[in-house]
Structure 1
């Protein structure tokens, strides 16, 4: 059964996600996704041609569409009505062979054969009761396959807003677990060790941790409109983990 906290989080995303926002980010995501998230995720996944991939928490489906465009066989799972419906609409238009399933990641239905890799991009920190979701992702991977996930970096979650206010990054409560109320929906802060220790408890072998900064040339292009962009050059706003599932 889905926890009440997770139901509330899903309802938040359902209520606050607009058609305009999904249309704007339907191809490659927003600025941060295009320049920081997507390149690292795709590098970690490697050549996906002919591989069976699960996009866990696929949102509007843009990562699924990128992966399918590179030759992967993709299943996307998304719990919200609005984003799953949008993803299915795009599949009808584009006919990339993506299957979208509406389901809570903590209660995955039968999705068929195990996946060569599961990618979970910017999802786990948005799930209050997140451990069952990570376990479900790992269990969906074939032995020796990959589990790759991306998070807002737990040490630098409010990088832009604090840089705008103080001209530097400030953090006071790293070791606690707490809710971060956002404009669209909440995220949930927990230390990096929580994710890595849970990954270890599931028997996964860590392959890589990445903390990319924004390329200075890209920052220069937008600095006049957003002077605080240098925070993304100097500090990592996102964290990426690649792990091998035990054979």
Structure 2
């Protein structure tokens, strides 16, 4: 019988991420985050000048720094030692006023409930016991505050690898939860309904769902170095959700 990973085991897996990988994320994440995820998150957030934003599961902190550059008052929460240390190091060098906290999102310290927005980008699929993390994000919001989260699109996970192998996307399992091994750690597949039903259970009002596609011109420019990248033009690899605190 396979033992289900715990949050602690998952955090330790992410703690093995090499520094060169974190450095390669500067200044605005990897290819997918630059072209597909970040633009949608920033559009959904709108003008963040003077607003208090929680970057929940901030990793090495690149999105926290993007928000601070745009004038937000940012708190970043990250449990993994290596990524937390990297984000602290960058704050020491850049002095952007970002407050980083090392904590598991499922056991986050009391941050109050005054955040104008909470962003949880590409984090929930990495957490085995994810519902308390989503609850903590919502509880950190002021009334009417905005909760944004992004995940690998549950209907089109591992899009690039599948497209490279078959020239199309194929899916055999969807409804049950299962593990997806990654380079440094493990993600967990869950159907879209799991995330949206939990959002409803927490009393949030759905504002927008986005399934971003790659611009054809960018795909053509990248095709030689990333075979199969045209898949991002035709099929959404990411799901981004905006909801309001009741």
1:228 is paired with a residue whose SS is coil
Normalised TM-score (structure 1): 0.96
Q: Per-residue deviation at 1:227?
A: 2.9
- 1:81 aligned residue: 81
Q: Per-residue deviation at 1:228?
A: 0.3
Unaligned runs of 5+ in 2: none
Normalised TM-score (structure 2): 0.97
Q: Per-residue deviation at 1:4?
A: 6.4
Q: Per-residue deviation at 1:26?
A: 2.6
- 1:153 aligned residue: 153
- 1:242 aligned residue: 242
- 2:109 aligned residue: 109
Judged with a 3 Å threshold, the aligned counterparts in structure 2 of structure 1 residues 197 and 11 are, in CA distance, closer, same or farther, namely: same
Q: Per-residue deviation at 1:225?
A: 2.3
Q: Partners in 2 of 1:51 and 1:95 — Cα distance?
A: 18
- 1:208 aligned residue: 208
Unaligned runs of 5+ in 1: none
1:37 is paired with a residue whose SS is helix
Q: Give the RMSD, CA atoms, in angstroms.
A: 1.1
Q: Partners in 2 of 1:11 and 1:224 — Cα distance?
A: 35
Q: Partners in 1 of 2:107 and 2:131 — Cα distance?
A: 12
- 1:186 aligned residue: 186
Q: Per-residue deviation at 1:110?
A: 2.2
- 1:229 aligned residue: 229
Q: Partners in 1 of 2:186 and 2:169 — Cα distance?
A: 21
2:213 is paired with a residue whose SS is coil
Listed one character per residue, the Cα deviations across residues 136-189 of structure 1 (whole Å, up to 9, x for unaligned) are 000000000000001111111110111011110001001111000111110000
Contact 1:55 1:118 in 2 (8 A): yes
